[in-house]
Amino acid sequence: MSSILEVKGLKKHFSNQKAVDDISFAIAPGKIYGLLGPNGAGKTTLIRMITGIFYPDEGTIQFEGKRFSPEDDAIKIGYMPEERGLYKKMKVGEQAMYLAQLKGLPKAKAEAAIKEWFVRMEMESWWNKKVEDLSKGMGQKLQFVTTVLHQPKLIILDEPFSGLDPVNSNLIKDEIYRIAKEGSTIIFSTHRMEQVEEICDDIILVNKGQKVLEGEVHEVKQRYKEHLFRISTAQAESVETNNIFEVVGQQANQMVIKLHDGIDNNTVLRHFIDQGIQIESFAEILPSLNDIFLKIVEGTPTARQFEWN
């Protein structure tokens, strides 16, 4: 699998602060990656190096198999920072044209792309509106459009849904899926774990400037599962901890059990059948990303403050 972006041993230090400390990963085209981490973990610094805003102190960035060059590759990357910004006094259409041209799109092509996107996002009537007259959510939509309209191969979205209503959230979510299907790679940075579970194929978790976890969402969940099962029975039963499982909790006809090491599911089921207990449902409880996130990050002094001196 050829990766679109590959970073190796990336380091960036600020005075006495290791913002990014030896991070390596590779991402494949057409997938949606979640970049997770508590505040101050180094996500923004990492993103700023990938977008060419910062030069890394050490390490290499390979983009499409070649050494990353901010000037040549700018047009292939779309970046939507967490703190959104637009020129307030400019008109919506001019603003989009300006940002597209700065990326390197020729004028005619930029105009065509903007018109197409404005129709798709139901923004046709905005062209001559001033940015300062837009609501926060509208500005968000505009910012998203300016990020993706030059059809970048790599799109980096930092908290793209903050401040959006459910309708517009879904609109943008659908666009993200569509763009990924067309072959672009998306790095999606957020704290909102339920969104990551819903949208992302893979996750990279960083903490204190280092990568602490990487993998497919499904696989990560498997890796961190605690062999917990939820069982509901026809009648209320009293079940004791035994050599197969431990009863973690019990309430009426529901119970949560934790399997002992090396026990498989069928052994558990057989145990209940042998006891003559009628099982209505039997389901494994997989950890949410939120649980995994907290488990890994907690215990370490989390959010460090950024210090420049």
Partner 1 sequence: MNKTWLIIKREYLTRVRNKTFIISTFLTPLLLVGLIAAVTFITVKSNSKQKIAVADKEGLLKESLQSSESLSFEFLDNADTSLLQKGYDGVLLAPGNGTNTGTDYKIYSGKNLSISVESKLERSIDDAVENKMISDLGQISKSTLDSLKQVARQTRLEPMILNADAEVKASNSGVAFGVGYGAAFLIYITLFLYGAMVMRGVMEEKTNRIAEVVISSVKPRQLMMGKIIGIGAVGVTQFLMWILLILILSNVLGALLPAETLRQVGEANQQMPQAGGGSAALDAIAKTQNMLGTVNWPLIIGCFLFYFVFGYLFYAALFAAVGSAVNEDPQDAQSLMFPITLPIILAIIIMMNAINQPESTLATWSSIIPFFSPIVMMARLPFGVPGTVPYWQLALSMVSLVLGFLATTWLSAKIYRTGILLYGKKVTLKEMWKWAFRKS
Among 4, 5, 49, 77, binds partner 1 (CB under 8 A): 77
Q: How far apart are the first and last CA of the chain?
A: 42
Based on the shown chain and the rule CB under 8 A, indicate whether residue 102 belongs to the binding site for partner 1: yes
Based on the shown chain and the rule CB under 8 A, indicate whether residue 48 belongs to the binding site for partner 1: yes
- Closest approach, Cβ 209 to partner 1, in A, equals 18
Which span (46-54, 182-190, 216-224, 268-276) binds partner 1, by CB under 8 A?
46-54
Contact 158, 81 (CB under 8 A): yes
Among 35, 99, 121, 193, binds partner 1 (CB under 8 A): 99
What are the backbone dihedrals phi and psi of residue 15, each rounded to the nearest 5 degrees, phi first? 45, -100
Q: How far apart are CA 245 and CA 283, in angstroms?
A: 15
Based on the shown chain and the rule CB under 8 A, indicate whether residue 101 belongs to the binding site for partner 1: yes
Based on the shown chain and the rule CB under 8 A, indicate whether residue 38 belongs to the binding site for partner 1: no
Closest CA to 28 of 246, 204, 232, 222: 204
- Closest approach, Cβ 234 to partner 1, in A, equals 59
Which span (59-67, 72-80, 178-186, 264-272) binds partner 1, by CB under 8 A?
72-80
Q: How far apart are CA 136 and CA 66, in angstroms?
A: 38
Helix (H) or strand (E) holding 223: helix 217-223
Among 24, 89, 177, 273, binds partner 1 (CB under 8 A): 89
Based on the shown chain and the rule CB under 8 A, indicate whether residue 79 belongs to the binding site for partner 1: yes
Question: How many of the chain's residues bind partner 1 (CB under 8 A)?
Answer: 29
Window 139-158: residues binding partner 1 (CB under 8 A):
143, 146
Closest CB to partner 1 among 71 and 274? 71
Which span (45-53, 120-128, 181-189, 246-254) binds partner 1, by CB under 8 A?
45-53
Can you tell me whether residue 92 is helix, strand or coil?
helix
Based on the shown chain and the rule CB under 8 A, indicate whether residue 162 belongs to the binding site for partner 1: no
120-to-56, 85, 116, 163 alpha-carbon distances in Å: 38, 22, 6, 20
245-to-138, 241, 266 alpha-carbon distances in Å: 53, 6, 12
Q: How far apart are CA 243 and CA 263, in angstroms?
A: 10
Residues in contact with partner 1 by the rule CB under 8 A: 48, 51-53, 70-71, 74, 77, 79-81, 83-90, 98-99, 101-104, 143, 146, 308-309
